[in-house]
Amino acid sequence: MGVRRAAKGVGDFLVEMVGEFVLEAVLVLLACVLLGCLVLLAHLSWSFSPSLTVAGTGLLCLFLAHGARQVRTPAKGRRRGLAALAAAGFTLTAVTALFLLLYATGCDCL
């Protein structure tokens, strides 16, 4: 009975280890693709019009700053309209940045 239990434990460990390795590889690949798409978007935008790229980046920064303020100090009651959209945009951007920070650092494609 002890040998079967030990063999089952080793098998479970190997399955878990391979699963974690595959999941880690998929997450790094996803981060590399996302980072590549962001770089491609910036390159295409800059090649189309540098002044519009700077203006659009400035507007995006203002929008995200407004969202950060709404997340940090919510108004009484419910958020509506632009404030809710800005808070959701800031949260999505922060989560994406954290994901890229954790997984794109292992991307050797750049």
Mind listing the pLDDT tens digit for each residue in 16-43?
A: 898 899 988 888 888 888 888 888 999 9
Taking the C-alpha atoms of residue 24 and residue 96, their distance in angstroms, rounded to an integer, is 17
Average pLDDT over residues 99-105: 83
Per-residue pLDDT at 59? 92
**CA dihedral over 48, 88, 73, 97, signed as positive or negative:** negative
What does the DSSP 8-state code read for residue 81? T
Strands (E), the chain: none
Is the Cβ–Cβ distance between 100 and 34 less than 8 Å? yes
Task: Tally the domains of the chain.
Answer: 1
At residue 54 the predicted structure's pLDDT band, cuts being 50, 70 and 90, is very high
Q: What does the block give as tokens for 10?
A: 């080793």
Helix pair 50-72, 82-103: axis angle to 10 deg? 100
At residue 55 the predicted structure's pLDDT band, cuts being 50, 70 and 90, is very high
Per the model's pLDDT, the better-predicted residue between 53 and 82 turns out to be 53
- What mean pLDDT, rounded, does the chain reach? 83
Helix (H, G, I), strand (E, B) or coil at 66: helix
Structural domain range at position 18: 2-106
pTM of this prediction? Answer: 0.71
